[in-house]
Amino acid sequence: DTEVTQTPKHLVMGMTNKKSLKCEQHMGHRAMYWYKQKAKKPPELMFVYSYEKLSINESVPSRFSPECPNSSLLNLHLHALQPEDSALYLCASSQPDDYEQYFGPGTRLTVT
């Protein structure tokens, strides 16, 4: 199984809502990532978890809160987002020390 799954596929939320994005992999990977991708732009790294510990936070605003409850799951908790946060949010996984990352299909987020 070389699949990274993300739920939901689409999410529309208001600026006062709290929602969560979920990512799951069963490849035994111990590194997981969140990326943000705006339309017609490349993916931008947000967070990296290695062995369930946050190892990189790319100065992401605190309204985005990542969580890695176990080695297979990665969540991104969203609160008080702004319309400019509307984007495709991609999850990826890999073995530590390996840049061969497996990406999920993404969650298309719209903030109204």
Partner 1 sequence: DAKTTQPPSMDCAEGRAANLPCNHSTISGNEYVYWYRQIHSQGPQYIIHGLKNNETNEMASLIITEDRKSSTLILPHATLRDTAVYYCPHMTTDSWGKLQFGAGTQVVVTP
- Selected from 10, 16, 42, 62, the binder of partner 1 by CB under 8 A is 42
66, 49 contact by CB (below 8 A): yes
43, 37 contact by CB (below 8 A): yes
86, 107 contact by CB (below 8 A): no
104, 92 contact by CB (below 8 A): yes
72, 89 contact by CB (below 8 A): no
- Selected from 36, 93, 104, 109, the binder of partner 1 by CB under 8 A is 104
- Is 56 among the residues that bind partner 1 (CB under 8 A)? yes
Nearer to partner 1, 64 or 106 (CB): 106
Rule CB under 8 A: which of 82-101 touch partner 1?
Answer: 90, 92, 96-97, 99-101
Residues in contact with partner 1 by CB under 8 A are 4, 31, 33, 41-45, 48, 50, 55-56, 90, 92, 96-97, 99-106
